[in-house]
Structure 1
């Protein structure tokens, strides 16, 4: 809409304001302000009749003034080219509000002129004054942010919850207390994701269909389920200062800037379960077609010749169409010589392969899985050690800046040393129960075979995802099943 007005058709606006107190104390007259502003316009050779906005009896302590609101609306419409005041404090006595208003003027290419201070944002000196005002305001904002951070840091280190309570907890005297009804839902969500293989969407849909309310009674969504599954609050950990909200776009800070307090409140999910869920979330995600395809191995089946995905093709007349898995590189590019395979045959081979796998689980394969699980555990331990060291480094910086006392720094050092010692002990004594691993794996395979025979394809595929990373076809009845780490 702004483009409809040229500079020639835009108006000059005069803004005059006086409060009752100012009129009595300083003898500031609205008529006097108008006369001075109109005289300035004539002196500058501006012949058009200006629009006058008169604010009678309103204080400049806030922006809730009818004439100011009306003026800003016209600015945003693009009908004004210049705004004049006798003094800056006519617009606002608060620097924060003044800068907010001037920002609006600049965004809409409006010159702002104060005739007493010789302030004109269209001149170099005016822009310099604006920059100085901005620097002062920025300094004050930083001072306020430092004070807020210091108070928040103290509260976080003493286990005080700093925002509204997450689902599963109630907030009582700034401390989290488990809400038993909601906690059962949290445990169920983790079980549905980790053990039954349901995705964010499927879990949200199930909870909504069952009429289970979310915290704000808005229903469950993909985002709310993901946040619930990734929030460390459920393992008893408080994480604060994670998001930078200083600009319009929220950005996650580097983890060394986070304030992390372990065992800050009662947990709902044990740490091993929480870490297992994070591992599954961070693993290479299964392609969307693997979740939604009505074909058992859609999204899982790979070509043994080139590694491309095998997709469903249909052959035969409409009355007797047959499914086949065909290499996508062969179908779309002609770069692979792999043959198509009857889909029902391949799915039968897959089930037979699972049966053989459960009966012939050899020790070398179990050892390989155990070694992978051991490496995963090592990685988690190393992350815990690094997080403890990062927290201590932040406390050193806070102590140097005078934000915390020496006693707080010493406590953090002792805590870091304890965490490192416990983690290193776990690392040196970590053992994997291979018999238990084999039993767990065989149990999963048996459950999966039963699911394939009894459940709808989409539900069976959810279970396949918890156990199988991919299936590679090398030829007739020759398939390779690659399992995920249990």
Structure 2
């Protein structure tokens, strides 16, 4: 048996973490006499609904291994059906792949093994996926209604914004007011004034770090992470600091927020003009000389990685003269570190990271379903997206009207009939929507080439960098246990965040 372990964010503490799922399944497998594969597929803190914003690397690897025949087991174990997927179309793809490869599916909470080749089992699995997707849709709709209501009333939604604190009623826990944070508000104002006066984001971040000011989003599990230029800029672009309420990316001009601005609206708008005017003036036109410089990121702090030189081997001396010989060097990708703080977090030999990333990207581009998943560049992509979204919305609005009518007449027959007819149309439109993507033409050419590797080798360095930057963000983590002193490529250090 090989496991797929997933959990979304667990703020309530009631969900089962991947490790807990693993322990439960390992124990049950032991009682049943099943051998468990040593390498489960994992997706911690990953949603499986259509509203997810992060790719599920573990699930994609699972599908890829099933397609290539390298799954290396005859049983797929999941803790419950919703852990697999909350998208009906995606779940059906998994079922079909398992059926083709002769892989059965064990759902631990059901304590049952399903055979995808069996029509009744296949129907049960599909129904579970449909139910999970429906629950996901209901949750999303409730959240959207709450967000919309809060926006229209000028009330906050989500996490407390840096620079403010919320005051709640001790009994009801209802929000009373949003007030300035005694220390953080001054930091926001200072950053705004300094940028308006010409300071760079880097200079502000460096000064804040040297003064020991806690960053907006402290990460206690990470080391040496503080303010970064990107964090300063992102903070100052937030309309909330001007007392403006934003909803779905749009500033609601006719809505008055319930909190006082830290930056006057006129000053904040001037600040946006100043920051946007800097965009094209900084940087240079030097040609890139390394494949992943500025593309790969540190897995600890998220900073871009630059190139640097590293000494190879120990110091040697000339046998005759005794003079110290010049040491050989090699190029590495190094974390840029945090402004105002010494040191960096990770480094990896350039040739190792280049080779690994190229190998994985080419394997991804060579997949038969790559174009179907990412879509091809087309001038009408935005129109196609809008049309599909309208189609889905119209179908759902129709079903809602049918539900209301059925409730009034106490007649569920019509409702069931319409759901049977309309839900497949919604699913089909959703699958099309997921496959439509505005993509660089070069990616389409590469994926459609007979020999992807040969076509890749024909590209110049800048084009290769562009392709990699469009489809993946490699993240380099620290050396794991057992690798100190070892040579060769440590594949476990590199995480691939697919776009």
TM-score, length of structure 2 as denominator length? 0.35
Structure with greater helix share of residues: 1
TM-score, length of structure 1 as denominator length? 0.36
